[in-house]
Chain A
Amino acid sequence: MNALNSLLDGFGTALTPVNLLWAALGVLLGTAIGVLPGIGPAMAVALLLPVTYGLDPTGAFIMFAGIYYGAMFGGSTTSILLNTPGESAAVVAAMEGNPMAKAGRGAQALAAAAIGHFAGGMIGTTLLVALAPTVADLAVDIGAPDYFAIMVLAFIAVTSVLGSSRIRGLASLLIGLTLGLVGLDQMTGQQRLTFGSLQLADGIDVVIVAVGLFAIGEALWVAAHLRRTTGEAIPVGRPWLGRGDVKRTWKSWLRGPFIGFPFGAIPAGGAEIPTFLSYVTEKRLSRHKDEFGKGAIEGVAGPEAAASASAAGTLVSMLTLGLPTTAVAAVMLAAFQQYGIQPGPLLFEREPDLVWGLIASLFVGMVLLLALNLPLAPVWAKLLRIPRPYLYAGILFFAALGAYAVGGEVIDLVILLIIGLIGFGMRRYGLPVLPAVIGVILGPAAEQQLRRALQISDGSVTGLVDTPFSVTVYAVVVLLLAWPLVRKPVMRGRGRTTRT
Chain B
Amino acid sequence: MTTRNDLTPGTEASTGRPSWQRWLREHSELGVSVLLLLLGVLVLTDALTMDVDIAQRGPVGPRTVPIVVGAGLLVIAALLAVDVLRGGRGEAEAGEDVDLSEPADWRTVLLLTGVFLGAAVLIEPLGFPVAGALLFWGAAYALGSRRPDRDPLIAAVLSLVAYLVFNNLLGVPLPGGPLMGVL
Decide whether A and B assemble into one complex.
yes
Binding site for B on A (CB under 8 A): 37-38, 50-51, 53-55, 78, 82, 84-86, 164-165, 167-168, 170-171, 174-175, 177-178, 181, 185, 187-190, 192-193, 216, 218-228, 230, 387-390, 392-394, 396-398, 400-401, 404-405, 408, 410, 413-414, 417, 421, 424-425, 427-431, 447, 450-452, 454-455, 458-459, 499-500
Complex contact B172–A221 (CB within 8 A): no
Cα–Cα, bound, A421→B172 (Å): 27
Residue-wise, chain B 26-61 has the 8 Å CB interface mask toward A (1 for contact) of 000100100010010011001100101011111111
Give the Cβ gap from A48 to chain B, nearest Cβ, in Å: 11
Complex contact A454–B60 (CB within 8 A): yes
Complex contact B132–A401 (CB within 8 A): yes
B57, B104, B158: the one contacting A225 at CB < 8 Å is B104
CB-CB nearest in chain A for B165: A51
B59, B105, B145, B173: the one contacting A389 at CB < 8 Å is B145
Complex contact A392–B104 (CB within 8 A): no
Binding site for A on B (CB under 8 A): 1-2, 9, 29, 32, 36, 39, 42-43, 46-47, 50, 52, 54-62, 64-66, 69, 72-73, 76-77, 79-80, 83, 86, 88-93, 95-100, 102, 104-106, 108-109, 112-113, 116-117, 119-121, 123-124, 128, 132, 135-137, 139-145, 154-155, 158-159, 162, 166, 170-175
A37, A175, A181, A397: the one contacting B66 at CB < 8 Å is A181
Complex contact A459–B59 (CB within 8 A): yes
Complex contact B43–A221 (CB within 8 A): no
Give the Cβ gap from A410 to chain B, nearest Cβ, in Å: 6
Complex contact A389–B95 (CB within 8 A): no
Indicate whether A224 sits within 8 Å of B108 (C-beta atoms), given known contacts A53-B172, A400-B116.
Answer: yes
Complex contact A389–B144 (CB within 8 A): yes
Given the complex, which residues of B lie within 8 Å of A393, measured CB to CB?
135-137, 139-140, 143, 145, 155
Given the complex, which residues of A lie within 8 Å of B159, measured CB to CB?
397
Cα–Cα, bound, A85→B117 (Å): 32
Give the Cβ gap from A122 to chain B, nearest Cβ, in Å: 30
Given the complex, which residues of A lie within 8 Å of B139, measured CB to CB?
389, 392-393, 396-397
Indicate whether A499 sits within 8 Å of B46 (C-beta atoms), given known contacts A174-B72, A408-B173, A451-B58.
Answer: no
Complex contact A174–B170 (CB within 8 A): no
Given the complex, which residues of A lie within 8 Å of B120, measured CB to CB?
400, 410, 413-414, 417
Complex contact A429–B90 (CB within 8 A): yes
Cα–Cα, bound, A369→B43 (Å): 47
Complex contact A387–B145 (CB within 8 A): yes
Cα–Cα, bound, A398→B56 (Å): 43
B32, B60, B113, B119: the one contacting A450 at CB < 8 Å is B60
Cα–Cα, bound, A388→B145 (Å): 9
Give the Cβ gap from A69 to chain B, nearest Cβ, in Å: 21
Given the complex, which residues of A lie within 8 Å of B123, measured CB to CB?
404, 410, 413
